[in-house]
Amino acid sequence: MKTEKIFFGKTKDTRDSFLYTLSNKNGMSLSVTDYGASTVSLIVPDKNGNRLDVIRGFDNVSGYENTPTYMGATIGRHAGQIWHGTFELNGETYKLVINDQDHTMHGGPESFHSRLFTAETYSENELVLSYFSRDSEAGFPGNLNVKVIYRLNEDNSFSIDFHAVSDKDTILSMTNHAYFNLNGENSNSALDHKLKIYSDSYTEVDMQGVPTGKIIPVKGTVYDFTNFHTIEERINEADRELKFCQGYDHNWVISPVKDNVTRLCCELINRDSTIHMQLFSNQPGLQMYSGNYMTGEKGKNGVLNSKRSAICLEPQVFPNGLKQPHFPSPVLKKGEEYFYSSLYKFI
C-alpha cells in the first residue's frame, strides 16, 4: 500500500489544492482531492486484467469549482431537496438559499461540495479530511465539525466514513456524489449497466423531483430493480415521474437501520460483466441518478461527461425528510455524533 500527494491547482481565492492517491497491491487505486472532499478517479482491475478508471472527474481543482454537477463531491449539510428552502427546528424557521427550481438542493450553492477540506492525516491506506462549518453557514444552525475518512483495502474495496458533531441541534444528511461508469472512461453511456437494488419500495416525487411523502411499492413499475436488469431497459417508458426527472433520479427505501449496521444496498455490473461492484451502507435510502443533467463538460484526459455517461448511487436519508414526519429524521442533536459509512466492493 502507498499514498501519493500532488499539487492539484489553485482555487479561485488562490489557495493550494492537493490530490491524494491510495493504492493497493492488486493494482487498484483511489484518488481524492481536498476540494469538496471529492473523488477524482478509481482505477479497478477487471476480470481480464485491464485497469479501468470507473469514476468520472476532472484534471484539476478548477473543474470541481466550476461544475454544476457535484462531480464526486461530499454532499452536505443536506443531500437532496429541502422543499422551498425552509425548515423548522425547535420552534425556529430557517431559510436557505434556493438553487433548484423553488427548492434547496444538496445544502445550497455554497455547501460542502464547494469547500476546501483539510487533510488531517494520510497514510498507506487512509485519508482523513476535515472541515469546520460555522453556525449559520448556508443558513444551517450549529457549529459543525466534519470528518470524511477514505480507506482503500487489499480486498479491492474502499470505504467512506462520515463523522460530525454540532454544538446546536441541526439537520445533517451527507453522502458522496461519485459518478460511476464501470465500462471505463472511454465509454459514453452507463445505461447498459445491469443494476440490482435491495428495495421493494421508493419515494414518489412531484413534477419538480421532490418527494411527496408517498412510499410506493416497486413491483410492476419502472422502479423495480429487485432483479438485475439494465438501466436503459425501462428508462424511456411512459412514466410521469421519469418524464419529470428526465430519467431516474429517485430514492429507494432500504431496510430500516439498526445499530448502524451496514448492509448490501445495490449491485452494479458493467456491459461485459468484467467489473461487478457491491455497495453497502448504514443509510435508510439510496438515490439512483442516471446522469440526466450531465452537461458534456470536458473531464479527465479530455473525456466529455455527456448526458447519462455515468450514474450516481448515493446512500442517504430521504430527501425532504423534515417535511414528512414518517420519513427517517435528518435531525442531529447537540453533542451527538453523526456516523454514516458506505463500502464499495469489487468482486
List, by residue number, the catalytic residues.
177, 314
Paired strand residues for 118: 130
**Sequence-separated (6 or more) residues with CB below 8 Å from residue 317:** 79, 173, 283, 284, 285, 327, 328, 329, 330
Give one word for 174, left, alpha or beta, with left for phi > 0 and alpha for psi -120 to 50: beta
Joined grid coordinates for residue 221: 413499475
Report the alpha-carbon distance of residue 257 to residue 247 in Å, rounded: 28
- Chain length of the chain: 347
DSSP run (H or E) holding 242: helix 240-245
Report the alpha-carbon distance of residue 341 to residue 330 in Å, rounded: 15
**Sequence-separated (6 or more) residues with CB below 8 Å from residue 7:** 16, 17, 18, 19
| C-beta separation of 288 from 252 below 8 A | yes
